[in-house]
Amino acid sequence: MSVPLVLARRRLGALGRPTGAGQRPRGETLRRLLRSRSAVVGGAVLAVIVLAALTAPLISPFDPIKTNQRLSLEAPSLGHLMGTDRFGRDIFSRVVWGGQISLPIGLVSVGIGLLVGVSVGLLAGYYGGWLDAVSMRMVDLLLAIPGILLALAIIAILGGSLTNLMIAVGISAIPDYVRITRGTVLSLRQREFVLAARVIGCRGPAIMLRHILPNVMAPLIVLATLGMATAIITGSALSFLGLGIKPPTPEWGNMLAEGREFLQHAWWVAFFPGAAIMLTVLSINLLGDGLRDALDPRMRV
């Protein structure tokens, strides 16, 4: 079970009253965030990683795909900062380019989870009745299947590709977002400001989007940030198993799988792509923890 899910479960209890940035001046939240040293470090490291991936064509010294057998498995040196792999490709260049695949997997799958999860959560919480009953049973069902098993099943059906990987990881994240959104909606549905909006003639969608959604934003931002870390791990795990992005496309998970064969004699082939995953996930987690403390101190672990 993913960390965010458990955090979400703990947090659901704290959702009695409206939370979040809506109530507090934006500057205050930012100031809290900047006061957290780990959040600042996490944010800075993440920014460097994202920037490196975005500027891959400019900063990578070598072609990430073109092979050169004469350079096979060279140890890290000034010429090849992270050494070369079996086919003589520069690992530093491949790690930098790999960010262009691994980071979007996290981003898009969290996007899928957010979009579907928040919509279902809003509708189920607001309208209740059979809609709520059916969607909660679906959520129970999805929660009953461990995330990676669900992703494996979806990959088994759709086959392994970048798009399918994003869909698989995204679907397995949906329940977290449904639960947290629905929980907040339920607690707000009968509050005065919602009733007032209804009295002055606001229709359901407007109330949900303009009056309720802003109150779910704080926990959603935190959940989405931490969910990005889980998504990147799941995505690279599937590629590592040979069920996601296939070589020669550089992706951190499949590079790690290639490096596994040479671990004993050429540790650098696996070490650096793995370090890239770990550093990315670590920086996201640090940022997520800081965001949680800044946006909603009551959710602190």
Instruction: Tell me whether residue 172 or residue 215 sits nearer to another protein (CB atom).
Output: 172
Please state, as a whole number, how many other Cβ atoms lie within 10 Å of the Cβ of residue 30. 12
**Nearest distance from C-beta of residue 137 to another protein, angstroms:** 6
Element spanning 116, H or E: helix 91-127
**Nearest distance from C-beta of residue 142 to another protein, angstroms:** 9
Please identify, among the stretches 20-28, 137-145, 173-181, 197-205, the one whose residues bind another protein according to the rule CB under 8 A: 137-145
Q: Looking at residues 216 to 235 of the shown chain, list those that interact with another protein (rule: CB under 8 A).
A: 229, 233
Q: Which of 55, 77, 278, 298 forms a contact with another protein (CB under 8 A)?
A: 278
Residue at token pair 């109330």? 207
For position 209 contacting another protein by CB under 8 A, the verdict is no
| Rounded distance between C-alpha atoms, residue 26 and residue 297, angstroms | 15
For residue 83, what are the CA distances in angstroms to 56, 78, 91, 161, 199?
A: 17, 9, 6, 28, 67
For position 15 contacting another protein by CB under 8 A, the verdict is no
Half-sphere exposure of 212 (CA within 13 A, CB side): 31
Q: Which of 132, 105, 100, 144 is nearest to 5 (CA)?
A: 144
Say how many residues touch another protein, by CB under 8 A.
Answer: 50
Please state, as a whole number, how many other Cβ atoms lie within 10 Å of the Cβ of residue 184. 29
> Hey, is 160 helix, strand or coil?
coil
For position 3 contacting another protein by CB under 8 A, the verdict is yes
Q: Looking at residues 233 to 252 of the shown chain, list those that interact with another protein (rule: CB under 8 A).
A: 233, 236-237, 240-243
For position 297 contacting another protein by CB under 8 A, the verdict is no
Q: Which of 144, 163, 199, 201 forms a contact with another protein (CB under 8 A)?
A: 144
**Nearest distance from C-beta of residue 95 to another protein, angstroms:** 14
For position 13 contacting another protein by CB under 8 A, the verdict is no
Please state, as a whole number, how many other Cβ atoms lie within 10 Å of the Cβ of residue 21. 18
**Nearest distance from C-beta of residue 53 to another protein, angstroms:** 18
Please state, as a whole number, how many other Cβ atoms lie within 10 Å of the Cβ of residue 246. 13
For position 17 contacting another protein by CB under 8 A, the verdict is no
For position 48 contacting another protein by CB under 8 A, the verdict is no
Please identify, among the stretches 69-77, 81-89, 100-108, 149-157, the one whose residues bind another protein according to the rule CB under 8 A: 149-157
**Nearest distance from C-beta of residue 223 to another protein, angstroms:** 15
**Nearest distance from C-beta of residue 147 to another protein, angstroms:** 6
Please state, as a whole number, how many other Cβ atoms lie within 10 Å of the Cβ of residue 213. 18
- Rounded (5°) CA angle 181-185-187: 120
For position 254 contacting another protein by CB under 8 A, the verdict is no
Q: Where does residue 249 fall: left (phi above 0), alpha (psi -120 to 50 degrees), or beta otherwise?
A: beta
Half-sphere exposure of 292 (CA within 13 A, CB side): 21
Instruction: Tell me whether residue 56 or residue 281 sits nearer to another protein (CB atom).
Output: 281
- Interface with another protein by CB under 8 A: which residues? 1-3, 5-6, 10, 137-138, 140-141, 144-149, 152-153, 155-158, 229, 233, 236-237, 240-243, 253, 256, 259-260, 263-264, 267, 270-271, 274-275, 277-278, 281-282, 285-286, 289, 300-301
